[in-house]
Amino acid sequence: MVHPDHWEPRHPQDYVKGVRDEQSVPVARPAPNVSISVQGSVLTFPGAGVPAAPTELVATSTITGQVDLTWVDNSTTETSFVIERKFTNSPEDPQQNGHLAILTSVGAGVTTFSDTGLAPSQSFDYQVSARNLSGLSSPSNRETIVVT
């Protein structure tokens, strides 16, 4: 164990007066009475909390091998939506414990997704959650559909 009195500086210049640390980032502050605005994006801060959950998830299958999903976006702070899916034709997967696996994600404000390349007559469960820097919302309602 090292005694606190025996610590050595990481760099000798740490204790030399008048030597400027070239790696430090200068701090810039706006002049008084100057306003700053950001256009074109919404800033989300970690303390903002998780976004509101999407609702009214609807799954339809009118095209062979495709499932179309739509939902209602109830949040203004999401950065994306996470889409989850589970194949329901087989026995429960003990690894998933009934949970759905992440299929993909789509951008903020997007309220539709098409899952393609599926075999007809297969049954799937879907749900959607909103995500931001604070985490995932509660999931939407779960929809079960048989692919046409």
The string of pLDDT tens digits covering residues 69-127 is: 999 999 999 999 999 999 887 665 555 556 789 999 999 999 999 999 999 999 999 99
Span 29-42, average pLDDT: 50
Q: Would you state the pLDDT for residue 12? A: 53
Of the candidate CATH numbers 2.60.40.10, 3.40.50.1970, 3.50.50.60, 3.40.630.30, the domain formed by 49-146 belongs to 2.60.40.10
DSSP for 84-116, please give it: EEEE-SSPP-TTTTTPPEEEEEEETT--EEEE-
Q: Is 52 exposed, middle or buried (0-12, 13-18, 19+ CB in 10 A)?
A: middle
> For residue 96, which amino acid is it?
Q
Greatest alpha-carbon span in the chain? 76
Averaged pLDDT, 21-46: 49
Distance CA 79, CA 14 (A): 41
Q: How open is the CA angle 62-63-65, to the nearest 5 degrees?
A: 120
- Find the DSSP H helices in the chain: none
Region class of 97: left (phi > 0), else alpha (psi between -120 and 50), else beta:
left
User: From CA 43, how far away is CA 103, in angstroms rounded?
Assistant: 26
